[in-house]
Amino acid sequence: MKKKAVLSLALCLALVFALALPGFAANYDQPAQELKDIGLFQGTNNGFELDRAATRTEAGVMLVRLLGMEQQAKEQFAAGEISHPFQDVPAWADAYVAWMYKNGLTKGVDATHFGTGDCNAQMYSTFVLRALGYSEADGDFTYAEALKMAERLGLYQSEFLSDAFLRDEVAAMSYQALATRVKGTETTLLQKLVDDGVVKQEAARELLDKQAIYAEYCAAAKLPEGRIAMAMRSTVKMAARIPALGMTTESTADADMAVILDENGMQMSAVVKSTTGEQTATVREWLKDGWLYVDGGEDGKYKAELNLAGLDDLSDLGMVDLSAAEAGPLYLFDKIVKNADGSYTISYNPALNDIVNEMVSAQIGDDQSVKINFKLNDTTVYFKDGQMQKILSKMEVAVATEVGGQTVDMDMDMDITVDITAWGDAVTITYPADLDTYPELTDDMLTDTAA
């Protein structure tokens, strides 16, 4: 039962993560393809090669394209109007690097070398900020602070992008940049490229429409001022099938939760009531200072440390534009539709499934006896009085559990309903006085429970 209690929390956390969208690295093939379709991203002879690091040269080429200066760079270079002094630039990139050099966007690593190393997140953030009209010379940012500036604009979110910063991340950040307003305007970078004749209107039409609805959704989903806090009542209806046993069971999990994200990290309280047939179990859970505390009633009390990477430092809330960061980056959205009642239906990019599954794997850790694979289907989000009110979502879960040396597969269909009952200062969490007496969960405790 203790392991089931941990999983019940995982389901609750999945609901919170569906709102806050923290996660891990994923594969952004679809954004890369959409960028290619409008002429702003190209692959190599081996395809997109998203799983390798981007070179400085490739990042520079992308900057010139995002600035809408690719054609000008080629024409000026062909006419001998621009050049560069670097000896290590491949011929195919000469025009791009020459244009960057002429316009003061690069000085190279020294007087005769542009640099053949990999591009990192800080470097590419600098390029993208320049494409959006921000300038070091004007005091908008410094190279040292470029990554923070990109985070504040929702361009870079470490929860979704790997530390290696691959071509995958270049595609994702570039895609997000196209949906970001150019400095001092209400115009997105993509619309500017269309207005400037760099990208054809027809080629960009579908993405422009998607960006417009996404911008409305970001504005609607913007969190209230002050601390990030919500209380919610959720119901998860599950139909589970074990093919090997020809067994199908239906169950319901009801949870009353309160979640607070502030300078202390993520804090939570939950009462989870699980019903299968005539059997009902109630588990009370609290998350405090990175520890999960569980009161399983007859199954006893325990605590377990959780890895909440990405949710442990919210001290820097002085952000320029949090809307995109709060709603989630556009590169995670496959489709977004605004319905007649003002709600939004979102089909997520398959990359989000990668993120959720990596998150779950990180929580399971070295336990190889349980493997879980989530697939998030369409989600509809409702708003009332300017705040998020209800979320309806469907999820498929495949679980493989090792029992007695054999693997037992189970498939689950989940219908999730979340009603948000309170926001902001109206949300409080009260912790039991005896949390310090809860013993830490050990493998021996799990073994005893399984026996």
CA distance 103 to 127: 13
CA distance 163 to 53: 11
Across the range 342-355, mean pLDDT stands at 86
Across the range 113-131, mean pLDDT stands at 89
Tell me how far apart the terminal alpha carbons of the chain are, to the nearest angstrom.
11
CA distance 131 to 174: 10
pLDDT at 137 exceeding the cut of 80? yes
Please name every residue paired with 417 in a beta bridge, in sequence order, or none if there are none: 235, 392
Phi, psi at 240, each rounded to 5°: -110, 140
Model confidence at 5, pLDDT cuts 50, 70, 90, reads very low
Chain centroid offset of residue 172 CA: 11
Reading the block at residue 317, the tokens are: 């809330």
Are 251 and 440 a contacting pair, CB within 8 Å? Answer: no
Name which of 314-318, 346-350, 351-355, 445-449 the model is least confident about: 314-318
Considering 127-141, 213-227, 252-266, the range whose residues carry the highest mean pLDDT is 127-141
> pLDDT tens for residues 361-419?
766 666 667 788 888 889 999 998 888 899 999 989 888 887 777 788 889 899 999 99
| Edge-to-edge strand ranges of the sheet holding 387-403 | 301-305, 291-295, 279-288, 265-276, 247-262, 228-242, 406-423, 387-403, 370-384, 344-348, 333-338
pLDDT at 9 exceeding the cut of 50? no
pLDDT at 139 exceeding the cut of 90? yes
Q: What is the pTM of this model?
A: 0.78
Buried b / exposed e over 131-156, threshold 16 CB at 10 Å, is bbbbeeeeebbeeeebbbbbbbbbbb
Are 379 and 393 a contacting pair, CB within 8 Å? Answer: yes
> pLDDT tens for residues 377-391?
899 999 988 888 999
Are 269 and 278 a contacting pair, CB within 8 Å? Answer: no
